[in-house]
Amino acid sequence: MDQITQYRRAVESFRLLLAEVGDAELTLSCPCSEWDVRALLAHTTGAQRGLASALTGPSEPVSEDPREDFEAAVETMVATFTPERIAAAIKTPFGERTGGFLLGMATGDIFVHAWDLARALGRSSDLDPELAEELLERMRQTLPDAARGEGRAFGPVQPVAPDAPAADRLAAFTGRAVN
C-alpha cells in the first residue's frame, strides 16, 4: 500500500473515533496517563501540523475546537505530501530525511494515537489490521533504540500476546501497556 493511502487510512481510523468525541469525552483519561482526550487531540494535531511544516513552514491552529483543528491539519498534510515532496530530501532535526520518512512518521503517530483514543473511549482497539501490520513492520525496521526510554518518544516494548490484534501489538511495540 502506498504511503498516501496508508496516511489516509490512519486518518480515517482516527476520524471515526473522533466523531464520537463530544465535550464530555474531552476529559477522559488516555493510556498515556499524563493526557486526557483533549491533550491527545492537541498533541496529534500539533504533530501533524509540525511534520507538514517541515515542508511548508510553520502554521497556526485554525480553531479552538480540537476536532476542527485536527481536520485542518489533516487537510494540510494531504495537500503537502505530493509524490514529489515524498521523494524530496528535507533537513530535519534528525538529519536529512525524505518527505516519505516524515509522512511515515505522521502515519504511525496518528494511527497509534487512534489506538489511544479507542482505549480512552472504551472502544475496540482492533483498528485496520492490514495497516497496523504494515506500520508495525516498518517501525520494527526503522525505530532506533535511542528513541526509547525516559523522556523519549517511545517507552520500552511492552508484553503482548503474539496472537493479539495487530494494532495492540503495534501499541505494545511503541511502549503502551495493552493488557
Cell 525496521 -> residue? 141
Work out the average pLDDT over 51-70.
80
Residue 135 falls inside a structural domain: yes
Residue 71 falls inside a structural domain: yes
Residue 178 falls inside a structural domain: no
**Which residues constitute the domain of residue 44?**
3-19+26-173
pLDDT digits (tens, 9 = 90+) for 82-99: 899 899 998 877 789 898
CATH number of the domain at 74, please: 1.20.120.450
- Name the residue among 141, 91, 92, 134 with its Cα closest to residue 111: 134
Residue 179 falls inside a structural domain: no
Work out the average pLDDT over 103-128.
95
Neighbour-count burial of 24, counting CB atoms closer than 10 A to its CB (0-12 exposed, 13-18 middle, 19+ buried)? exposed
> CA-CA distance, 36 to 120, in Å (whole number)?
8
Number of domains in the chain: 1
Work out the average pLDDT over 66-93.
87
Work out the average pLDDT over 27-36.
90
Q: Of 15-24, 29-38, 70-79, give the range with the top mean pLDDT.
A: 15-24
Residue 66 has pLDDT above 90, yes or no: no
Question: Whole-prediction pTM value?
Answer: 0.92
SS3 at position 162: coil
